[in-house]
């Protein structure tokens, strides 16, 4: 098939271009990008964009499903449909399923099941340790051959320093990326909030923000000594940002992700114990949120993730301290990003880079850019169109969205994956 997307506003963080243009797609590949309203001589199908933004499809590096093992939470299909509706063309599935994705056969199995859906690109993150137990190292090399995008124990902290150093050393041998959540497990034991005056008033078990920096300093020191690539998983405090900045200045191969939730909300949003805001890491004070936004603007934070973590109602409708942590977010990622554009003053290039070209570069993907020869993974959206988030209408099987009822801007009009329209049209 041959399709031209004309009269669009092209936003391509990889090239730094934001302006009028058109894109020609043949089959599953972009064959021409023109900075003109039309494609000269085109005679095939035409999508008239009407000045809407045409950008690379979003790439979300942190998405959980319940499949295999907990399908009532989320299936691969429901997660893929949610991603397509949100303009996300590629997701990386987390390994904390049942059984865990800790061996090549499991990585291959889930990858094949996801590919058979024919919706969005679904990659798999392999477990760093067997059973996500933080002890024996998983077969990282064989899992990478099976298609693992990177390695992580997801929400679980790898406490044993010797084990984590071995993981980094092993991964460095084939330039694999290792992601790790920085959180001192003893300081954070039992905590559901950030230690502050507010959590004290509310009587919530809390951990000091320094718990994040303590573990981050260890991880950065190990990555520096080994020379491995480290992805700091969901950095959330200003103190940790300072540690990251110093490490990057020394040449440490450290990168950082931040969840859209921590860029959008602060600890005040917990209100009267609203469990949809029970997250891990917990929401921070407003000064931390502002520091995270500036880190996105400056490029210190490399990647923004939805941190999509579905949980059914029975796991959320509990006392705050007993509620399951996490929130769905892959479908609401783009309008939430647009809030950073409209309210925090970040340019479209600045808010889209951490969900397009930056994660693509981190994983060595050909997608995430508007260029000849790149995969035809595209999102067409109106950044100013009003959107009211109704959790009941979201594609995810679970409805635990902290954005429920919020009035945002940024409506996805069409999502294209490999040249095929998988949403809108």
Among the listed residues 126, 228, 230, the one whose alpha carbon sits nearest the alpha carbon of residue 172: 228
Each residue's pLDDT tens digit, 33-88: 999 999 998 888 999 999 999 999 999 999 999 999 999 999 999 999 999 999 99
In a domain, 370, yes or no: no
In a domain, 403, yes or no: no
Mean pLDDT on 204-208: 96
Preceding amide of 68 cis, omega within 30: yes
Model pLDDT, residue 41: 87
Residues in Cβ contact with 345 at an 8 Å cutoff, skipping those fewer than 6 apart? none
Q: Is the dihedral of CA 161, 166, 172, 176 positive or negative?
A: negative
Q: How far apart are CA 125 and CA 99, in angstroms?
A: 14
Model confidence at 273: pLDDT above 90: yes
32 and 121: one domain?
A: no
352 and 385: one domain?
A: no
Residues in Cβ contact with 378 at an 8 Å cutoff, skipping those fewer than 6 apart? 5, 23, 25, 54, 55, 56, 57, 89, 370, 414, 415, 416
User: Using the 8-state DSSP alphabet, how is residue 246 labeled?
Assistant: H
CATH number at residue 129: 3.20.20.140
Model confidence at 305: pLDDT above 90: yes
In a domain, 402, yes or no: no
CA angle 252, 253, 255 (to 5 degrees): 115
Domain count, the chain: 2
97 and 213: one domain?
A: yes
The three-state secondary structure class of 31 is strand
In a domain, 399, yes or no: no
CATH number at residue 21: 2.30.40.10
Q: What is the band of 228 on the pLDDT scale with cuts at 50, 70, 90?
A: very high
Model confidence at 287: pLDDT above 90: yes
Q: How far apart are CA 187 and CA 183, in angstroms?
A: 8
Q: Is-contact 8 383, C-beta < 8 A?
A: no
The three-state secondary structure class of 357 is helix
Model confidence at 343: pLDDT above 90: yes
Model confidence at 386: pLDDT above 90: yes
314 and 386: one domain?
A: no
Residues in Cβ contact with 348 at an 8 Å cutoff, skipping those fewer than 6 apart? 11, 18, 53, 55, 341, 383
291 and 266: one domain?
A: yes
135 and 100: one domain?
A: yes
Preceding amide of 160 cis, omega within 30: no
Q: How far apart are CA 85 and CA 68, in angstroms?
A: 23
Other C-beta atoms closer than 10 Å to the C-beta of 227 total: 12
In a domain, 349, yes or no: yes
Share of the chain residues as helix, strand and coil, in percent rounded to the nearest 5? 35, 25, 40
**What is the DSSP annotation of 148-197?**
EEEEE-TTS----HHHHHHHHHHHHTTT-EEEE----TTTTTT--EESSH
Mean pLDDT on 268-276: 94
390 and 350: one domain?
A: no
11 and 131: one domain?
A: no
Q: Is the dihedral of CA 424, 122, 76, 59 positive or negative?
A: negative
Among the listed residues 340, 339, 335, the one whose alpha carbon sits nearest the alpha carbon of residue 381: 335
In a domain, 272, yes or no: yes
Model pLDDT, residue 425: 81
Q: What is the band of 1 on the pLDDT scale with cuts at 50, 70, 90?
A: confident
Q: Is-contact 53 7, C-beta < 8 A?
A: no
Q: How far apart are CA 301 and CA 291, in angstroms?
A: 10
Q: What percent of the chain has pLDDT over 90?
A: 98
76 and 30: one domain?
A: no
7 and 149: one domain?
A: no
Domain that holds residue 216: 56-363
Q: How far apart are CA 119 and CA 273, in angstroms?
A: 37
Model pLDDT, residue 44: 86
Model confidence at 255: pLDDT above 90: yes
114 and 158: one domain?
A: yes
In a domain, 164, yes or no: yes
Report CA-CA distances (Å) from 356 to 82, 257, 364, 368: 18, 13, 12, 4
Average pLDDT, the chain: 97
Q: Is-contact 252 224, C-beta < 8 A?
A: yes
170 and 288: one domain?
A: yes
Among the listed residues 49, 55, 60, the one whose alpha carbon sits nearest the alpha carbon of residue 6: 49
Residues in Cβ contact with 95 at an 8 Å cutoff, skipping those fewer than 6 apart? 101, 102, 124, 125, 126, 127, 132, 152, 153, 154
User: Using the 8-state DSSP alphabet, how is residue 91 labeled?
Assistant: E
Model confidence at 206: pLDDT above 90: yes
Encode 199-210: b = buried (16+ Cβ within 10 Å), e = exposed: beebebebbbbe
In a domain, 368, yes or no: no
Each residue's pLDDT tens digit, 136-191: 999 999 999 999 999 999 999 999 999 999 999 999 999 999 999 999 999 999 99
Alpha helices in 274-332 (DSSP H): 286-298, 313-316
Residues in Cβ contact with 137 at an 8 Å cutoff, skipping those fewer than 6 apart? 128, 129, 130, 163, 166, 167, 170
């Amino acid at each position: 098939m041959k399709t031209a997307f004309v009269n669009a506003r092209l936003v391509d963080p990889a090239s730094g271009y934001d302006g009028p243009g058109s894109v020609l797609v043949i089959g599953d590949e972009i064959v021409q990008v023109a900075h003109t309203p039309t494609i000269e001589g085109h005679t095939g199908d035409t999508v008239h964009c009407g000045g809407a933004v045409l950008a690379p499809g979003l790439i979300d590096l942190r998405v959980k499903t319940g499949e295999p093992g907990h399908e009532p939470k989320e299936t691969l299909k429901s997660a893929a449909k949610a991603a397509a509706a949100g303009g996300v063309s590629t997701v990386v599935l987390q390994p904390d399923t049942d059984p865990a994705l800790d061996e090549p056969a499991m990585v291959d199995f889930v990858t094949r099941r996801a590919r058979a859906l024919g919706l969005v690109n679904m990659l798999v993150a392999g477990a760093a340790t067997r059973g996500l137990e933080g002890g024996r190292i998983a077969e990282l090399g064989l899992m990478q051959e099976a298609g693992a995008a990177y390695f992580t124990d997801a929400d679980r902290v790898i406490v044993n320093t010797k084990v984590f150093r071995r993981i980094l050393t092993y991964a460095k041998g084939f330039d694999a990326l290792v992601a790790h959540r920085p959180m001192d497990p003893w300081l954070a034991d039992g905590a559901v909030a950030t230690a502050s005056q507010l959590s004290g008033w509310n009587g919530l078990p809390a951990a000091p923000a320094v718990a994040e920096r303590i573990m981050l300093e260890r991880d950065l020191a190990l990555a520096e000594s080994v020379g491995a690539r480290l992805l700091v998983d969901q950095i959330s405090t200003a103190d940790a940002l300072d540690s990251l900045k110093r490490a990057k200045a020394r040449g440490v191969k450290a990168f950082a992700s931040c969840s859209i939730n921590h860029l959008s909300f602060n600890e005040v949003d917990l209100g009267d114990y609203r469990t949809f805001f029970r997250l891990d890491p917990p929401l921070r004070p407003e000064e931390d949120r502002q520091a995270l936004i500036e880190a996105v603007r400056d490029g210190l934070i490399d990647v923004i993730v939805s941190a999509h973590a579905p949980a059914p109602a029975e796991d959320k409708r509990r006392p705050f301290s007993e509620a399951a942590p996490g929130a769905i977010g892959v479908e609401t990622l783009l309008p939430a990003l647009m809030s950073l554009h409209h309210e925090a003053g970040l340019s479209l290039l600045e808010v889209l880079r951490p969900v397009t070209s930056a994660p693509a570069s981190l994983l060595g993907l050909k997608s995430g850019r508007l260029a000849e020869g790149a995969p035809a993974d595209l999102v067409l959206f109106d950044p100013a169109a009003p959107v009211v988030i109704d959790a009941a209408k979201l594609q995810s099987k679970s409805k635990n969205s902290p954005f429920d009822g919020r009035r945002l801007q940024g409506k996805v009009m069409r999502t294209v994956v490999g040249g095929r329209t998988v949403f809108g049209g």
